[in-house]
Amino acid sequence: MPRRANPKSLPVDGGIATADTTPPASAGRDVTIPTVEEASATEWRSVLPSTADRPLGRFRSSVSNQGVAIIPDRRKGGHPQQVFTESTGEDNSLMVLSTRHDIVEIREQQEATYRDEEGRLRRHYFDFVVTTAEGLRIALAYKPSDRVKALDFEAYLAELATRISPAFADEIKLITEHDFPPIQVANANLINDCRRDQPNDADEAVLEMLGDLTGAVRIADLRDATGYGGEAFRAIVRLIGQRRIVMEGQGRIGGETWVRIAGEVA
């Protein structure tokens, strides 16, 4: 049967959604993670359709917030993939998950069938099923924390895990808004926005400039030094998302964030 994931089975990926607004003062280490294949500046890629097992609901409640996002499918070399969400919480979760390099595939609204206590066939739709780089499939159920308590949702998922075939997922995990801090969500949204642009001369200028430097530099100084202005800022954010640039510390990505070239020891 699927194992019920513990809180550490889908750890926070601090390398994407953290930054610092002070100069680095202590030594650190790098984790080498493969980057997503990027399209060239002249390459056009059609958007892959959603993989959802059910369409967006026809009837929207007063608290629903249906939407669609375009994220890179790492199993297809970063090809753009359409993903539907049914709430702000789901959308925030998706944004953060899509910037994590230990996750190679995200499928939304995935149907799991099971038999209830009376033997009747039932269906549950998991908000996301993610596949990790190690091949682990984790079914994620998003629910606001207040609803988790009101519905006794943890107990429901625990029971569900005993009834769903292990062919569906290796683990089942509950996620709430507390799993994705506001700074992490903000940085993930910024990365997803900036990587809509194709890589261009600004990306090359940023990498060339960083390659000539030793240590970390403020994003504002790096941006100004390239001469590309706002294009350079967006390029820096894209390169952070690709793990070609590393942020120092924790915080929201901005002009005061300190960055360095990946692979350089702090």
Strand 245-247 and strand 171-175: the pairing is unpaired
Instruction: State the burial class of residue 115 (Cβ atoms within 10 Å of its Cβ: 0-12, 13-18, 19+).
Output: exposed
> Which pTM was predicted?
0.80
pLDDT at 47: 84
pLDDT at 80: 85
Give the Cα separation of 147 and 104 in Å (integer): 29
Q: What share of the chain is helix, strand, coil (3-state, %, to 5)?
A: 30, 25, 45
Q: Give the contacts of 113 (CB within 8 A, at least 6 positions apart).
A: 121, 122, 123, 164, 165
pLDDT at 25: 36
pLDDT at 102: 94
pLDDT at 264: 65
Domains parsed from the chain with CATH numbers: 14-43+198-266 (1.10.10), 44-179 (3.40.1350.10)
Which regions of 62-144 does DSSP assign to beta strands (E)? Answer: 67-73, 79-85, 103-115, 121-132, 137-142
pLDDT at 10: 55
pLDDT at 164: 96
With a cut of 50, which residues of the chain have pLDDT below it?
Answer: 1-2, 5-9, 11-12, 14-42, 59
Give the Cα separation of 30 and 16 in Å (integer): 13
